[in-house]
Amino acid sequence: MLRRAMGPPFRILVVEDEPVIRELVRSMLSDGEVEVECAATGAEGLKLARTTSFDLILLDVVLPQLDGITVCRMLRADPSTAKVPLHMLTAKAKKSDVEVAMKAGADGYIHKPFRGAELMDLVATLRAAKG
């Protein structure tokens, strides 16, 4: 596939029920080459992930109704989203919680409160891998 001179933007989906955290992540990561889309619920996140292609999904664990672990399993079970880099974003930091997330198919785990540098490093690594 031919790439445009500027390259397509790096697209990130943030699934998070707390507006303050959604906007924090958006403001930390958005720039001319990175687009951040947000979903407030697991169902909304699933719908967006299935209809738009993303380069990274940041998924909160504790969400109302459909929790992040369930959303992660559903994304991994769907061929159209199975390979999208997915990192859980949560304050739940016990070793067992990390294991549950990894078993559900997450690629990584970012603890709240996170530092902007941590998120930016992750995005920089994935963008470099994307080429």
Residues that bind Ca ion (CB under 5 A): 17, 60, 62
Report, in Å, the least distance between residue 62 CB and Ca ion: 4
29 vs 39 by CB, closer to Ca ion: 39
Report, in Å, the least distance between residue 106 CB and Ca ion: 15
Report, in Å, the least distance between residue 18 CB and Ca ion: 5
DSSP run (H or E) holding 16: none
44 vs 127 by CB, closer to Ca ion: 44
10 vs 60 by CB, closer to Ca ion: 60
Report, in Å, the least distance between residue 20 CB and Ca ion: 11
Q: For 28-32, which contacts have Cβ atoms below 8 Å and span 24 or more sequence positions?
A: 28/116, 28/119, 28/120, 29/119, 29/120, 29/123
55 vs 60 by CB, closer to Ca ion: 60
Neighbours of 87 (CB within 10 A): 19
Q: Which two tokens stand for residue 6?
A: 């500027």
Spatial neighbors of 87 by CB under 8 A, at least 6 apart, are 56, 57, 58, 59, 106, 107, 108, 109, 110, 122
